[in-house]
Amino acid sequence: MSALKTFWRLRIESDAAFRSMMASSTAIPPDGEFLLRVSRGHGICLASYDHGTATGLVRAMGIVLGVEGDRLRVAWRETSVTLRPNGSGQKFWVDRPYFEFAKTVVARYQLAEHFAALFPTSPIPPRTSGVSTAGIAGRDTDSGGYVYLIKSEYGYKIGKTKNMKQRTQLFGVKLRASALGMHSP
């Protein structure tokens, strides 16, 4: 399996939520921003923070396979890994329901190696065609970008972007436009 490049920590909110995500091969995003930022092929550490030992306790690692409505499809593997965040990293673990691991932290925790041991072959199925089945403003999970359709007084614009928030702000100011809708495959 090729090495993953982007890794996230997603907080375990409860034992019931953990069991549900394992059984359904999904991840429940804490908000829409997480759903927009995570892409197919990203790694997720499902973990809690132990205040007594100041460590992150990873109970599962998974690879994002795609988006299904308001959830991520994930190939999960249960594990037991203890991570030791430094002083500034502890704040992320305590205060945030999710965060992207910095590249230096990925290397220090050896996350790519942990994932490679749990996933010797890629769980991501190959694409069956080059044609996207996304709707009006669908998620392009291969490149981490978006396809959008915008209507303004000048007509319609179809385009793609990696940063939908920035693009909609740009068009909102320049064209007084709004996106017609959003659909995730």
Task: Return the pLDDT at 35.
Answer: 87
Kindly state whether residues 113 and 162 are assigned to the same domain.
no
Kindly state whether residues 47 and 89 are assigned to the same domain.
yes
Cβ–Cβ contacts within 10 Å for residue 74, how many? 26
Kindly state whether residues 39 and 71 are assigned to the same domain.
yes
- Residue 184, domain member (yes or no): no
- Residue 109, domain member (yes or no): yes
Q: Is 153 helix (H, G, I), strand (E, B) or coil?
A: coil
Kindly state whether residues 21 and 97 are assigned to the same domain.
yes
Task: Return the pLDDT at 22.
Answer: 96
- Residue 39, domain member (yes or no): yes
Q: Which of 69, 86, 118 is the last residue of a domain?
A: 118
Q: What CATH number should be reported for the domain holding residue 72?
A: 3.10.590.10
Q: Is 64 helix (H, G, I), strand (E, B) or coil?
A: strand
Task: Return the pLDDT at 162.
Answer: 73
Residue 14 burial by Cβ neighbours in a 10 Å radius (0-12, 13-18, 19+): exposed
Domain of 160 in residue numbering reads as 139-179
Kindly state whether residues 111 and 157 are assigned to the same domain.
no
- Residue 127, domain member (yes or no): no
Q: Which of 69, 84, 118 is the last residue of a domain?
A: 118
Query: Taking the mean position of all CA atoms in its chain, how far away is CA 76?
Result: 14
- Per the CB < 8 A criterion, the answer to whether 45 and 118 are in contact is no
- Residue 125, domain member (yes or no): no
Task: Return the pLDDT at 81.
Answer: 96
Kindly state whether residues 72 and 147 are assigned to the same domain.
no
DSSP for 1-49 reads -PPP--EEEEE---HHHHHHHHHHTEE--SSHHHHHH--TT-EEEEEEE
pLDDT digit string, tens, across residues 20-54 = 999 999 998 998 899 889 999 999 999 999 999 99
Kindly state whether residues 25 and 111 are assigned to the same domain.
yes
* Dihedral of the alpha carbons of 9, 10, 12, 16, in degrees to the nearest 10: -140
What is the rounded CA–CA span in Å between residue 115 and residue 120? 8
- Residue 69, domain member (yes or no): yes
Kindly state whether residues 88 and 153 are assigned to the same domain.
no
Domains identified in the chain, total number:
2
Task: Return the pLDDT at 83.
Answer: 97
What is the rounded CA–CA span in Å between residue 41 and residue 66? 8
Cβ–Cβ contacts within 10 Å for residue 136, how many? 14
pLDDT by 10-residue block (mean), the chain, 185 residues: 86 94 93 90 96 96 91 95 94 95 95 93 70 43 64 68 68 49 44
DSSP for 100-151 reads EPPHHHHHHHTHHHHHHHH-SS--PPPPS-SS----TT-EETTTTEEEEEEE
Core vs surface per residue 110-122: b (16+ CB within 10 A) or e:
ebeebbeebbeee
- Residue 132, domain member (yes or no): no
- Residue 128, domain member (yes or no): no
